[in-house]
Amino acid sequence: MKNQNKAIAIVLVLLAFAAAVLAIVHFAIREQVPEGAIAIHVGEAVKYVDPSKLTQVPVKGSVINGKGQEIPVDEQGYELSELLKAAKIDASSIGGIKVTAADEFSASLTKDEVNESGKAYIVSGDEGLQLVVFGDPNMKRNVKKVERIEVE
């Protein structure tokens, strides 16, 4: 019984150690994005865009939550194509984009979705910058705490 408890304690310590080492590595290699900014990656190049310096537009519509209920959206935000424009990227010449949150959760949008007026926005909410995609069957792509946009 004593050996059993010892083995369990060793497993716990090893797992905690592995998690700590991985957390250090993760923090060391993850990109540090300035507060309130979005890092826009095109291949190897990175540009930081501060959305608060762009002109806000009204973001109105509704999205569907996990229960199938319509949630009204009435915010101020930025069109994705405008964000790309601020990084001197022509949204009409891209293949698509991947929007990634601080916790690495991500959502992809096609070139057409980025360029469609009234389709996808970045809004500034309580939980930081958030992607809002209208017309989806659920809010799966509404990434919170947006930090990166990778242009494909």
Residues interacting with other proteins, by CB under 8 A? 1, 4, 7-8, 11-12, 15-16, 18-19, 22-23, 25-27, 29-30, 65-69, 101-106, 138, 140
Strand runs labelled E in the chain: 38-42, 45-49, 57-64, 70-79, 96-101, 106-110, 120-125, 128-133, 146-151
Q: Closest CB to other proteins among 82 and 132?
A: 132
Q: In the numeric block, which tokens belong to residue 121? A: 């926005």
Minimum Å gap between C-beta 106 and other proteins is 7
Question: Which tokens go with 152?
Answer: 């494909």
Give the tokens for residue 65: 């939550």
Nearest residue (CB) to other proteins, 88 versus 140 = 140
Place of tokens 């930090």: 147
CB of 90 to other proteins, least distance (A): 27
φ/ψ bin of 131: left (φ > 0), alpha (ψ from -120 to 50), beta (otherwise): beta
Count CB-CB contacts under 10 A for residue 6: 10
Nearer to other proteins, 34 or 66 (CB): 66
Q: Which residues pair with 72 in a beta bridge?
A: 62
Q: Which lies closer to other proteins via its Cβ, residue 19 or residue 45?
A: 19
Give least dist CB 81 to other proteins, A: 25
Q: How far is the CB of 145 from other proteins (least distance, A)?
A: 8
Beta carbon of residue 138, minimum distance to other proteins (angstroms, whole number)? 5
Residue placing its CB nearer to other proteins in the complex, 60 or 144: 144
Please provide residue 34's backbone torsions phi and psi, each rounded to the nearest 5 degrees. -55, 145
